Amino acid sequence: MIYHAEELVRQWVYAGADALEAASHIIPLWKDSVIITQEIQSFSPKMEEERQWREAVIQVNALLMTYADTVERVRNGVATNLKG
């Protein structure tokens, strides 16, 4: 089980790496894993790195969905099946 995948994306962004490229290398290693990531709200951060992080998380989450058999969104304790 992988918790807070968005924080891994933060590390990539702050290190100056291309988060989508980094994710494309690591996601196949997560086969058969349960991955939990926070949904990033549509706020407008003042720091450029935070804006880059938010956009990278959105892209990486979309990439994760393409690999996933099942995707569930849980909001306020209520699960909604998005895929599978």
Integer Cα distance of 81 and 68 in angstroms: 12
Residues in the chain, overall count: 84
What does the pLDDT read at residue 42? 62
What does the pLDDT read at residue 83? 94
What does the pLDDT read at residue 27? 93
Residues in the chain where the model's pLDDT stays below 50: none
